[in-house]
Amino acid sequence: MKTEAVMRKIILGLALAGLVLGACAPKVSTPSPEMVMTNVAATVAVQFTKTAIAKPSDTPTPTITPTKTLIPVTITVPATTGTPGAATTPAATTAVVLPGGQDAGVWARSNPVDGTVVDSGSKFKVVVTLLNTGTTTWTTDYAIRFVDGDQMGAPDEIKMPLAVPPQMSIDFEFEFTAPSTPKTARSNWSIVNANGVAFGVFWCEYKVD
């Protein structure tokens, strides 16, 4: 009898000890499926946010609007034959208003320049560039015409070899023969339209030695 009582007390003590130990152990809860999905979604959202921060922002490329640039066309017109020399200087121009627009033109440059020294009696070339500053096209009926001064063997008139639109230029090449005595030689010319009306003037001037 005493042995059975002792055994019961031991078993009861072990049972109580197990309950006490079970009560002291930390509880571990198993997350529900809904909580697992929420945590996954939150993690994905954080990753997307980090990627967006790390990615550089797109910089818009500026749009460049092309502009039109008008480049004068140069036409070389031999007047005769010859050797290098002399120059030209711009003069006052008179615009001529026509039903289809306005005739206007200016001297642009000469090669060689005004004041170039040439030998008396020598032959030399002068290239004169004229610019159409009007609103009409210089047709082949337009011309340049000798006015007065030293003609030096140049023709009285030279026709435009082809049409010269507004804001385009044309070159005329002259062959001059310098006077036989030293002097300042000047040759005055005009630009004339199809009706023979002058609307621009220029000259060539050189020192004859």
Taking phi first (over 0 means left), then psi (-120 to 50 degrees means alpha), and beta for anything else, what does residue 73 get? Answer: beta
pLDDT score recorded for residue 33: 54
Identify the residue with better confidence: 27 or 161.
161
Tell me the torsion sign for CA atoms 194, 195, 199, 203.
Answer: positive
Backbone angles phi, psi at 189, to 5 degrees: -135, 160
Q: How far is CA 148 from the centre of its chain?
A: 43
Query: Which one, of 82, 81, 196, 208, lies nearest residue 149 by Cα?
Result: 208
Question: Which domains, from first to last, does the chain contain?
Answer: 76-208 (2.60.40.10)
Q: Are 174 and 161 in contact (CB under 8 A)?
A: no
DSSP H helices, 55-163, are none
Report the chain's mean pLDDT, rounded to a whole number.
74
Q: Check residue 180 and report its DSSP letter.
A: S
Listed as own residue / partner, the contacts of 43-46 with beta carbons closer than 8 Å and 24 or more positions apart are: none
Q: Are 159 and 141 in contact (CB under 8 A)?
A: yes
CB 75 within 8 A of CB 162: yes
Question: Please, which pLDDT band fits residue 88 given cuts at 50, 70 and 90?
Answer: very low
Distance CA 179, CA 207 (A): 10
**Is the pLDDT at 91 greater than 90, yes or no?**
no
Q: What is the pLDDT of residue 208?
A: 97
pTM for the whole thing? 0.56
Number of other CB atoms surrounding residue 152 within 10 Å? 23
pLDDT at 62: 40
| Tokens 């019961």 found at | 8
pLDDT at 96: 79
